[in-house]
Amino acid sequence: MSGYAGKAGLVTGAGSGIGRAAALEFARRGAAVAVLDLDEDSARRTVELIAAEGGRAEAVAVDIGDEQSVRRAVDQVVAAFGGLDFAVNNAGIASHHQVLTEMSVQEWERVLRVNVIGTWLCMKYELPAMRRRGGGSIVNVASNGGLYAIPGAPAYVAGKHGIVGLSKVAAVDYGPDDIRVNALCPALTKTAMFDGVVASAGAGMVERQAAVTPLRRLAEAEEVAAAAVWLCSPDASYVTGTAMSVDGGRRA
């Protein structure tokens, strides 16, 4: 995979999990990477890991549900690196084991504020920066829940479907600016968020999920991150407006 020398980008939710794995891989391939996270200490830890491997990175605190926070963060990235070539909008929250009719308005709004509005806000400020750069690539991390239903997760599924739709519209609208936009749709992946889902689901959840996955295992964060890095690279130069499954064959 080539094309990252001299490039600069950002990854949201990069303090852990898929986001951290993606930030590390971008840096290994020669990119300057902004590590964005609500938890600034976690972002700094990712930067330390990148620096230990000889890479260049900056930690940036951001609340993707707040427009001014997103604007400041993107401005900070552009100021630090001189522009923006790629972005992985990975930050999000989970919401499972709830029946639609018993959800509160507050919980519904909380999930969509981060997962849908947050992704939209990131693109709102990333796209103009990429246009000034003469092009770029955005990967929005959705979920297999953006492609089909997950029982007991109405807000999460609605939000992830929204991310897929936003990605497709942006791909069409900004294709003439040589900006590619894709959605990445992983199945359950071994991350801190995954640990929380497992804890609430009870014993046997991992085994049950693995049993209905053709590869008979769950994804590692690095495997999902590798797909995001590929989608942002010149190797995927004619790929835009797609929702890529990284699910061990679940969708099939």
Q: Say what the pLDDT of residue 194 is.
A: 64
| % residues pLDDT > 90 (the chain) | 87
- Asked whether residue 87 carries a pLDDT value surpassing 90, the answer given is yes
Q: Can you give the pTM of this predicted structure?
A: 0.95
Report the pLDDT value the prediction gives residue 196, as an integer from 0 to 100.
66
In a domain? residue 2: no
Owning domain of residue 195 = 8-246
**Is 75 inside any structural domain?**
yes
In a domain, 1, yes or no: no
CA 144 to chain centre: 13
Angle in degrees, 0-180, between the axes of helices 17-28 and 221-232, rounded to the nearest 10: 50
Per-residue pLDDT tens for 177-210?
999 999 999 998 988 776 666 666 666 878 888 8
Within the chain, how many helices (H) and strands (E) appear? 9, 9
In the chain, the number of structural domains is 1
- Is the residue at 252 inside a domain? no
> Is 251 among the domain residues?
no
Whether 36 maps to a domain, the answer reads yes
Residues designated catalytic: 156
CA–CA distance, 84 with 73 (Å, rounded to integer): 12
Mean pLDDT of 166-177: 98
Residue position matching structure tokens 């590869």: 215
Query: Within a domain: residue 18?
Result: yes
- CATH number of the domain encompassing residue 108: 3.40.50.720
What end-to-end distance do the CA atoms of the chain give, in Å?
26
- CA 126 vs CA 52, 103, 177: distances in Å: 28, 33, 13
In a domain, 69, yes or no: yes
The SS3 assignment for 217 reads: coil
At residue 66, φ and ψ (nearest 5 deg) are: -115, 120
At 3, is the pLDDT very low, low, confident or very high (cuts 50, 70, 90)? confident
3-state secondary structure of 12: strand
